[in-house]
């Protein structure tokens, strides 16, 4: 198990700056997610950890060893690829044994370790199957077993769930997490799905345009995003332009004044307020304003509303326990933006 430290790592492809001055440290046994949209640099960062790319600048340390330019085969990492990259000409067992063979592990030991690794992913007895005879979920588990059997210092997962259907995803996600916890292996998990990142990470990093925007626990990042982009990426959110009237009080468009939990910002400053739909209080006793329902979407467990108050547009969520009667377009609902739920940028 290893500590991993990235120190001012950058990577440029020709003219494109794929990763721009990224630094972070990951503790032993931590489950660390790299989250961000396509092309944000998260995959490149993972590939630098694996050794498939060399940083243009900066250093990477496993424990205290500088591995910046070490070859992939000397890093002792396990990687699960998005498309699994199973060797189609080898059987399940041979796939799993590949890394052990490369390490010149003795034959009888290979056999026992392979069967243990397969047992770990509930694929016992499938050693001699052809890879192509397995389902997508099973292939994914073979890939995981193959990466884990060599007892890597770190485990790298590159969008491992993206080729699975929704139900399998949740199941596999939980399996990965439980195996990871049991083995206590330092794990990097690349995903563009915020739910995956939030549900299983110990900590996570959010990437935009090659930069690491924020690092923290899922809770920190979800609740205290450092930027509007991070907040928007992690889930649905309402954003308002506001003008600080006096410390603790801002004016929204339409001359509506609301309170914020911050007294340090000077009067006259332009700020952006963010609030997640489920934090918007409806039917509030002390409403900030009244909104008119312009759209209702039924999603099963709750209803999503879009409310209008002049030029303000607010997304909100109503669970059925709260809704007294059926909400219709044109209904007016009192709305409150609780100060403690507002994020200020």
CB of 74 or CB of 326, closer to other proteins: 74
SS3 177: helix
Distance in angstroms (rounded) separating the CA atoms of residues 208 and 186: 23
CB of 30 or CB of 158, closer to other proteins: 158
Distance in angstroms (rounded) separating the CA atoms of residues 78 and 54: 18
**Binding segment for other proteins among 36-44, 111-119, 167-175, 193-201 (CB under 8 A)?**
36-44
Is 27 a binding residue for other proteins by CB under 8 A? The answer is: no
Is 85 a binding residue for other proteins by CB under 8 A? The answer is: yes
Using CB under 8 A, pick the residue from 4, 114, 123, 146 that binds other proteins.
Answer: 146
Is 81 a binding residue for other proteins by CB under 8 A? The answer is: yes
* Total number of residues that touch other proteins (CB under 8 A): 39
- What's the closest the beta carbon of residue 9 comes to other proteins, in angstroms? 15
Per-residue x/- mask for other proteins, residues 91 to 130, rule CB under 8 A? -------xx-xxx---------------------------
Contact 6, 60 (CB under 8 A): yes
- What's the closest the beta carbon of residue 77 comes to other proteins, in angstroms? 6
Distance in angstroms (rounded) separating the CA atoms of residues 122 and 8: 40
Our separate counts of H helices and E strands in the chain read 8, 20
- What's the closest the beta carbon of residue 318 comes to other proteins, in angstroms? 36
Task: Give Dmax over CA atoms of the chain in angstroms.
Answer: 77
Is 157 a binding residue for other proteins by CB under 8 A? The answer is: no
Q: Cβ of 222: how many Cβ atoms within 10 Å?
A: 18
- What's the closest the beta carbon of residue 104 comes to other proteins, in angstroms? 10
The DSSP line for 141-202 is: HHHHHHHHTT--SEEEEESTTTTS-HHHHHHHHHHHHHHHHHHT-EEEEEES-HHHHHHH-S
Distance in angstroms (rounded) separating the CA atoms of residues 298 and 158: 34
Using CB under 8 A, pick the residue from 50, 118, 230, 273 that binds other proteins.
Answer: 50
The residues that bridge with 156 in the sheet, in sequence order, are 79, 188
CB of 84 or CB of 240, closer to other proteins: 84
Question: DSSP state, 73?
Answer: G
Q: What is the contact surface with other proteins in residues (CB under 8 A)?
A: 13, 18, 38-39, 43-44, 50-54, 69, 71-79, 81-83, 85-90, 98-99, 101-103, 146-147, 150, 156
């Amino acid at each position: 198990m290893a500590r991993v430290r990235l120190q001012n790592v950058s990577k440029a492809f020709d003219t494109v700056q794929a990763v721009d001055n990224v630094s972070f440290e990951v503790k032993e046994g931590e489950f660390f997610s790299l989250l961000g949209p396509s092309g944000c640099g998260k995959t490149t960062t993972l590939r630098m950890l694996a050794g498939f790319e060399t940083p243009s600048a900066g250093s990477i340390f496993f424990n205290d060893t500088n591995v910046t330019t070490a070859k992939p085969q000397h890093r002792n990492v396990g990687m699960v690829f998005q498309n699994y990259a199973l060797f189609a000409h080898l059987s399940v067992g041979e796939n799993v044994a590949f890394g052990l063979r490369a390490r010149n592990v003795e034959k009888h030991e290979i056999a026992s370790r392979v069967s243990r690794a397969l047992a770990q992913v509930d694929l016992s007895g499938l050693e001699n199957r052809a890879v192509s005879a397995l389902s997508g979920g099973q292939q994914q588990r073979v890939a995981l077993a193959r990466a884990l059997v060599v007892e890597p210092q770190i485990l790298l997962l590159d969008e491992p769930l993206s080729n699975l259907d929704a139900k399998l995803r949740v199941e596999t996600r939980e399996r990965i997490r439980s195996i990871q916890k049991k083995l206590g292996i330092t794990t990097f998990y690349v995903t563009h799905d915020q739910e995956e990142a939030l549900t299983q990470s110990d900590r996570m990093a959010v990437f935009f345009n090659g930069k690491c925007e924020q690092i923290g626990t899922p809770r920190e990042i979800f609740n205290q995003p450092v930027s509007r982009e991070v907040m928007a990426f992690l889930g649905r959110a309402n954003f308002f332009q506001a003008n600080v009237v006096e410390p603790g009080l801002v004016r929204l468009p339409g001359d509506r004044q609301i309170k914020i939990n911050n007294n340090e910002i000077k009067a006259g400053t332009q700020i952006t307020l963010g609030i997640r739909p489920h934090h918007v209080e409806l039917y509030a006793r002390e409403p900030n304003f009244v909104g008119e329902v312009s759209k209702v979407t039924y999603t099963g467990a709750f209803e999503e509303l879009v409310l209008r108050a002049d030029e303000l547009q607010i997304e909100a969520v109503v669970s059925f326990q709260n809704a007294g009667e059926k909400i219709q377009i044109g209904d007016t609902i009192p709305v409150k933006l609780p100060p403690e739920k507002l994020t200020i940028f």
